[in-house]
Amino acid sequence: MASSSSKSNRVEVPEAKGALDKFKTEVASELGVNLKEGYNGDLTSKEAGSIGGEMVRRMIKKQEEEMNN
C-alpha cells in the first residue's frame, strides 16, 4: 500500500513544471475544456482524462519522431 505522502502525479523534473502547465492549458483549449489557474476540481473525469490522454499521445508522437530522426 502506498504511503499517504507519496504523489503519483509529481513532476520528475521540477524545472519542467511551467512548460507542462502551459502544454496542459494549450491542449485543454484545443479540446474545448475550460481550465483555470489553480484547482480544477469541477472538471468531469471525462474532461480531465481527455486532456491527460491527449498530452500523452502528443508526447509519445514527439518521442517517436525524434527516435526516427
Residue 9 inside a domain? The answer is: no
What is the percentage of the chain residues whose pLDDT exceeds 70?
88
Which range of residues forms the domain containing residue 55? 16-30+43-68
Cβ-Cβ contacts under 8 Å for 26 (sequence gap 6 or more)? none
Q: Which one is predicted more confidently, 45 or 38?
A: 45
pLDDT, the chain, mean: 89
Total domains, the chain: 1
| Nearest-10 crossing angle of helices 17-31, 45-68 | 110
With beta carbons less than 8 A apart as the criterion, state whether 24 and 55 touch. Answer: yes
Which pLDDT belongs to residue 25? 96
Asked if the structure places residue 37 within a domain, the reply is no
Average the pLDDT over 50-66 and give the result: 97
* Grid cell listed for 33: 475544456
CA distance 24 to 29: 9
Q: What is the pLDDT of residue 1?
A: 45
Among candidates 61, 67, 64, 58, which has minimal Cα distance to 20? 58
Q: If pLDDT is split at 50, 70 and 90, which confidence band does 7 have?
A: low
